[in-house]
């Protein structure tokens, strides 16, 4: 069992060799969407930002460029293996479920694909909202994993069935570790409940052909979760067939729906 599972409730393990392709695939798919959501006026030069569960660090690095030398970015994670500090970018090991927030006057707090995994997600969201400066923004981005993944093209009749079987089993493993597959749909109301204003939500999904970076995310996830997928009754042959499918250009599937919600703490009068 990866250490991350025992220590945090988080299903994946940043220390595993599969974490690098996993985090890269997430970044290449999601960074353009996130960049639009944190673009000015949300993020401005001189801003002070907290990137929660920073993972591979690409969002923290782009925030650091955007805020410039007068601003500061703090990137936190329970596992900081892939994070490196820079001039205006600090890195700190921090468990967002149990450690006190590292400040209470952030102009931007951003968390992508983190709260989904944590059973304490509602309390954590309230904590993140409480760490904002007056007028500061909270941006929470998650996959909505409730809808079945739509296979668009497949090399044979069994392919879609195999794909559904393995991806369902992977979601089952995530749930065993406390993930809420429908949480993305609740974030908007939670932000309103936390007293944030100007709350808005956008969604994004796209097709992933076999061989694409996006499709490779399913394969790397299946490698990280392999022991638990075998325990759940899948065979090694099924997992190999699944990974072959994800490299096959005759296969294409829709991504999960990515849901980005942001809200602002009212400015003090
Ligand atoms: C799916 S990855 C997403 C990484 C990054 N946010 C992104 O979207 O590219 C989830 C990240 O959350 C971190 N994480 C999990 N549980 C956490 C916790 N309790 N406190 C802080 N970070 C946590 C993991 O270590 C991992 O880096």
For 196-221, the pLDDT digits (tens) are 999 999 999 999 999 999 999 999 99
Residue 121 CA, ligand 1 centroid: distance in Å:
13
What proportions of the chain, in percent to the nearest 5, are helix, strand and coil?
Answer: 40, 25, 35
pLDDT at position 269, please? 58
Q: Are strands 106-112 and 48-52 parallel, antiparallel or unpaired?
A: parallel
Fold classified for 3-264: Rossmann fold (3.40.50)
Residues composing the chain:
269
pTM of the model: 0.95
Please name the residue whose Cα sits nearest to atom 27 of ligand 1. Answer: 55
* 261 CB-contact burial (10 Å; exposed 0-12 / middle 13-18 / buried 19+): buried
Contact predicate 184/142, CB 8 Å = yes
CB-based pocket (< 6 A), ligand 1: 8, 10, 14, 23, 26-27, 30, 53-56, 77-79, 95-97, 112-114, 117-118
pLDDT at position 253, please? 96
Q: How confident is the model at residue 38 (pLDDT cuts 50, 70, 90)?
A: very high
């Amino acid at each position: 069992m990866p250490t991350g599972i025992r220590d945090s409730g988080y299903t994946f393990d940043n220390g595993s060799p599969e974490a690098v392709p996993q985090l890269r695939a997430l970044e290449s798919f999601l960074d353009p969407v996130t960049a639009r959501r944190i673009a000015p006026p949300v993020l401005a030069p001189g801003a002070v930002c907290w990137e929660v569960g920073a993972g591979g660090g690409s969002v923290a690095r782009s925030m650091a460029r955007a805020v410039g030398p007068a601003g500061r970015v703090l990137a936190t994670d329970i596992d900081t293996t892939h994070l490196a500090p820079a001039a205006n970018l600090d890195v700190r090991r921090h468990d967002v479920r149990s450690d006190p927030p590292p400040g209470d006057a952030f102009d931007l707090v951003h968390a992508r694909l983190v709260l989904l995994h944590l059973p304490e997600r509602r309390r954590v969201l309230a904590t993140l909202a409480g760490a904002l400066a007056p007028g500061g923004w909270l941006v929470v981005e998650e996959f909505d994993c409730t809808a079945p993944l739509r296979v668009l093209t497949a090399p044979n009749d069994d392919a879609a069935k195999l794909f559904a079987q393995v991806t369902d089993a992977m979601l089952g493993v995530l749930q065993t570790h406390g993930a809420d597959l429908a949480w993305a749909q609740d974030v908007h109301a939670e932000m309103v409940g936390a007293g944030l204003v100007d709350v808005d939500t956008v969604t994004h999904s796209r097709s992933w052909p076999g061989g694409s970076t996006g499709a490779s995310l399913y394969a790397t996830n299946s490698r990280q979760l392999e022991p638990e997928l075998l325990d759940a009754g899948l065979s090694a042959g099924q997992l190999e067939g699944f990974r072959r499918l994800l490299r096959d250009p005759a296969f294409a599937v829709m991504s999960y729906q990515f849901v980005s919600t942001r809200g602002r703490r009212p400015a003090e009068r």
